[in-house]
Amino acid sequence: METSKKSRIIALEKRQIEAAKLNPAHFAPLYNTYFKPIYIFIFKKVKNEDLAGDITSKVFLKALLNIKKYKHMGFPFSSWLYRIASNEVNLHYRKQNKVTEVELLEKDVLILLEEIKQPEDIRQQEVMLEALNQLPLQTAELIEMRFFEKLSFKEIGAVLGLKPVTAKIRVYRALEKLKKQILNAK
């Protein structure tokens, strides 16, 4: 993306946030921009349309109620929303005493196989899915944010409350764990 275009988008988003802080009715453009990616992020974790809709509603309600507390810290506004979404999903599973699940699309698996330099055959896809299922939740979540949600290290850091360099290190450590799981499964 062109630097000037990106700057205009950031400036527009800042104006929208400031307008929403002054009047909650002005939250609609932010909602319209981020509803779909947040819903998809949540749906991949809960695999239920109604539940994803309910949790997404809670995320945006919390965002609306707390918009006055939001401070731009150099991270995209979406990072703040992803953090709220992640917390809401975790809260739901804690209340249900369940484990979160992640839905993977075939293209997501192929991207990961390419990233860790493994062949892209059917057997490797099955091995990849099994390896992902054996990873700890936090490790799998890092991989999901980076490779499936396409978040930058800066955004991942904002979601998890980490510095971008720490997020990058954790993502690559997660990839190494995944690669070891795959090699052990052969």
Q: Please report the pLDDT score of residue 110 as a whole number.
A: 57
Please indicate, yes or no, whether residues 34 and 90 belong to a single structural domain of this protein. Answer: yes
Query: What per-residue confidence (pLDDT) applies to 60?
Result: 94
Residue 35 sits in which domain range?
3-96
Q: Supply the pLDDT for residue 100.
A: 46
For residue 116, what pLDDT is reported? 57
> In the prediction, which pLDDT does 55 show?
94
Residue 137: which CATH number? 1.10.10.10
pLDDT digits (tens, 9 = 90+) for 67-91: 988 887 777 888 889 889 988 888 8
Q: Is the pLDDT of residue 181 over 80?
A: no
Q: Are 161 and 80 in contact (CB under 8 A)?
A: no
Task: In whole angstroms, give the CA distance from residue 186 to residue 25.
Answer: 56
AA identity, residue 46: V
- Total domains present in the chain: 2
Q: 77-96 and 28-46 helices cross at what angle (nearest 10)? A: 40
Mean pLDDT in the chain?
79
Between 66 and 2, the higher pLDDT residue: 66
Which residue would you say has higher pLDDT here, 70 or 103? 70
Query: What would the mean pLDDT of 79-107 be, rounded to a whole number?
Result: 71
Same domain, 90 and 119: no
Do residue 10 and residue 90 come from a single domain?
Answer: yes
| Residue 101 within a domain | no
- CB-based contact 63:100 (threshold 8 Å): no
pLDDT one-digit tens code per residue, 148-165: 777 888 888 888 888 889
My answer on whether 119 and 90 are in the same domain is no
Residues 80 and 114 in one domain: no
